Amino acid sequence: MKFRTLIGLIHPRIAVVMHDLTMVLLAWFGAKALRLSIVADSDLLLWSFAELGIVLLVQGSVLFWTGLYRGLWRFASLPDLLNILRAAVLGSLAIGLSLFLYDRLSNVPRSVLLAYPVLLVPLLGAPRLIYRFWKDSRLDLSERGQRRRVLVLGAGRAGEMLVRDLLREGQYLPVGFLDDNRRLRGARVHGIPVLGNMDQLGVLSREVAAEMLLIAMPSADSAQMRRVVELCELSELPFRTVPRLQDVVSGKATFNELKEVAIDDLLGREPVQLDWTAIRQGLSGKRVLITGGGGSIGSELCRQVARLGVSALCVFEQSEFNLYQIHRELQNDFREIELEPVLGDVTDRVACERVLEDFRPDLVFHAAAYKHVPLLQRQVRETVRNNVLGTQTLALACDRAKVATFVLISTDKAVNPANLMGASKRIAELFCQNFARHSETRFLTVRFGNVLDSAGSVVPLFREQIRNGGPVTVTHPEITRYFMTIPEACQLILQAAVLGRGGEIYALDMGEPIQIRYLAEQMIRLANKLPDQDIQIVYTGLRDGEKLFEELFHEHEAYQQTSHRKIFLAQHREVDFEQLQRMLVQAAHAVRAFDEDKVRAIVSELVPEFGRLERDDKVVAIHHTQGGAL
């Protein structure tokens, strides 16, 4: 039984080899006959079994050596023809050399060696291409009727590769392309016509009876993707997309892998072009410590740092479960790196000093922070203890341990903060900016907006609400936010780590802000539901400490461009560092005494913008209590 199975497996290969050797003989005799037709010579009619044996043995060996039998006729293409051409030329040279050594080419004129490869290439190539054409066109009408008719949006390189795979696999039947490039109008790609532009999607999809739309635009920016998705939604046809270009480059996906359109496809922006050479040189072989390494930003930062060839990575995390998860993942994916998982709290001075003393990092990325705005509004003591005093404790410990670089991960909510979380991060920024003048450690700050799909963010909340049938809750119809992806945020952090000299705040040009209402509507549509019909959107009013829009720079922070067009540098705002330290000592005493009123007062004094909002809120509350009106 095993023998018969083996014969069944090798039989097609034997048939291919026999075919090719037959073509070799035909080419050889054809070359001799061609020479005879030009100059009559009775010696050309002479041949021997030894001559034919040498020709077959030598040419067969060359065909095998060039790898011609690794491919299948079913997928024969231009590379196979080039391979056949190479094998024919090399075979002719090898045959000539072998026959010269055998009998000095007594019965083989030199012109035969020139004509032989010219005849052999079409004899080997034509049957392969004819076979592929026959296989590709073999589907009868009933089989075609069973295939799902698809319209491909985008006739570029990705669209061409997608259609080629679809034609090969047979599950989908491409019926046309749409592309806004006018030069492609009327062209054909793999025999499939380019029918028109994107704006004609509704009409053309009905004319060709399309059953599905496939978006093949991996390099499209968010504005282009939003336009195409809106057109797809108007057609009321199901649609899929190929992965984004950055996902393909990073190895997370392949071009022909169809997937549902995700919200980050619509909100993700043009990737920032970073200086990866400088980043790799700045991190390669270094020892890196990441606080909050089990969180959304921290864990992705761990992955990217590990890929860049650091020698050792310490993950400092307060959550036992998060630490366990990221450590297990890093162990599996980066076995060559020294990994050190440490369970600890950045507000614990002894723990910070011990881990820095034992691990001796070159760089520290401080991602540990409380960030949930509405929750922190009522947790004054814990917010300041963790976000402010924790940053101070870790920064001082890094200074004593002679750490080369300290990167603080901040937020756009620190600009004109309307909430306690933003105010606490602003104080952390002030401390790091001004402490940089008194330390050998480089203290840098990276500031960015909301991160898509991070823990506690609006995207997973909306997803859960949609899964439960609604309603989806939005605080205000006009509220907007900047968005970026987790990998993009981490790349900015890594760039800042090698770009700054100390005391700088870096911020990303985050494009246009996105309306949260639009975000909710798109997520509902991507779940194949209709907003306000299948899933209701309910406006609940702005929460305590929430602004309608966020900013990346303070009005007194004149910003300038860096060497990277998407990264900006905020001008340094100096404060009285001794006064700042005294205020933080008072804050530490108030935290230990659990005096939240004192803690809030200190925050208001250190961040006047927040203090003014606090006072305005109290005035509003008094007027409402007295029945007055502002």
Examine the pLDDT at 305 and tell me if it is beyond 70. yes
Residue 568 is predicted with a pLDDT of 73
Hey, how many other C-beta atoms are within 10 angstroms of the C-beta on 223? Answer: 13
Res 382: pLDDT: 95
| Cβ contact 379:424 at 8 Å | no
Report the pLDDT value the prediction gives residue 618, as an integer from 0 to 100. Answer: 43
In a domain, 625, yes or no: no
pLDDT at 10: 45
Can you give the C-alpha Rg of the chain in angstroms?
34
Burial classification of residue 433, based on how many CB atoms lie within 10 Å of its CB (0-12 exposed, 13-18 middle, 19 or more buried): buried
User: In this structure, is residue 206 part of a structural domain?
Assistant: yes
Q: Which two tokens stand for residue 294?
A: 């089990």
Q: What is the pTM of this model?
A: 0.62
Q: Residues 6 or more apart from 67 whose CB is under 8 A from it?
A: 83
Same domain membership, residue 351 and residue 375? yes
371 is a catalytic site residue: no
State yes or no: pLDDT of 55 exceeds 60: yes
Peptide bond into 471 cis (omega under 30): yes
User: Domain tally for the chain?
Assistant: 3
- Going by their DSSP bridges, the two strands 192-196 and 567-570 should be labelled as unpaired
Task: Tell me, yes or no, whether 383 and 254 share the same domain.
Answer: no
171 assigned to some structural domain = yes
The answer, yes or no, to whether residue 131 has pLDDT greater than 90, is no
pLDDT at 154: 85
Q: Are residues 123 and 154 in the same domain?
A: no
pLDDT in tens, 219-240: 777 777 778 888 888 888 888 8
Mean pLDDT along residues 420-448: 90
H/E stretch holding 517 reads helix 516-526
> What is each CA distance from 555 to 11, 27, 570, 578, in whole angstroms?
78, 82, 10, 25
User: Which whole-number Å values give the CA distances from 627 to 544, 613, 622, in the listed order?
Assistant: 21, 21, 9
Locate 124 and state its tokens.
């080997």
Residue 619 is assigned to a structural domain of this protein: no
The better pLDDT of the pair 487, 97 is held by 97
Domain of residue 253: give its range: 141-261
pLDDT of residue 609: 78
Instruction: In whole angstroms, give the CA distance from residue 407 to residue 394.
Output: 11
Are both 282 and 381 inside the same structural domain?
yes
Instruction: Band the pLDDT of 282: cuts 50, 70, 90.
Output: confident
The span from the CA of 428 to the CA of 407, in Å, is 11
Q: Are 97 and 173 in the same domain?
A: no
Confidence label for 416 from pLDDT (cuts 50, 70 and 90): confident
Does one domain contain both 85 and 186? no
Q: Which one is catalytic: 413, 425, 547, 566?
A: 413
Is residue 190 one of the residues assigned to a domain? yes
Alpha-carbon distances, residue 195 vs 130, 198, 201, 503, 533 (angstroms): 28, 10, 10, 56, 34
The pLDDT assigned to 265 comes to 60
Alpha helices, H only, 401-453: 420-435
* Domain-embedded: residue 271: no
Same domain, 293 and 404: yes
Instruction: Kindly report the average pLDDT of the chain as a whole number.
Output: 79
Task: Give a yes or no: residue 269 inside a domain.
Answer: no
CATH of the domain at 178: 3.40.50.720
pLDDT for the residue numbered 141: 43
Residue 155 pLDDT grade (very low, low, confident, very high; cuts 50, 70, 90): confident
The answer to whether 344 and 351 have CB atoms below 8 angstroms apart is yes
Show which of 211, 236, 261 is a domain's final residue: 261
Q: Which of 11-15, 432-436, 530-534, 593-597 shows the lowest mean pLDDT across its residues? A: 11-15
Residue ending a domain, choose from 104, 136, 168 = 136
Helix (H) or strand (E) holding 508: strand 505-508
**pLDDT of 49:** 78
Q: Are residues 446 and 532 in the same domain?
A: yes
Above 60 in pLDDT, residue 468? yes
Q: Check whether residue 376 and residue 465 sit in a common domain.
A: yes
Average pLDDT over residues 470-479: 82
The tens digit of pLDDT for each residue in 22-34 reads 888 898 888 888 8
Q: Among 84, 119, 136, identify where a domain stops.
A: 136
In terms of domains, do 415 and 555 share one?
Answer: yes
The band of 4, judged by pLDDT with boundaries at 50, 70 and 90, is very low
Question: Is the pLDDT at 560 greater than 70, yes or no?
Answer: no
- Pairing label, strands 363-366, 287-291: parallel
Residue 283 covered by a domain: yes
Indicate whether 476 and 339 sit together in one domain: yes
For residue 355, what pLDDT band results from cuts at 50, 70 and 90? very high
On whether both 245 and 283 belong to a single domain, the answer is no
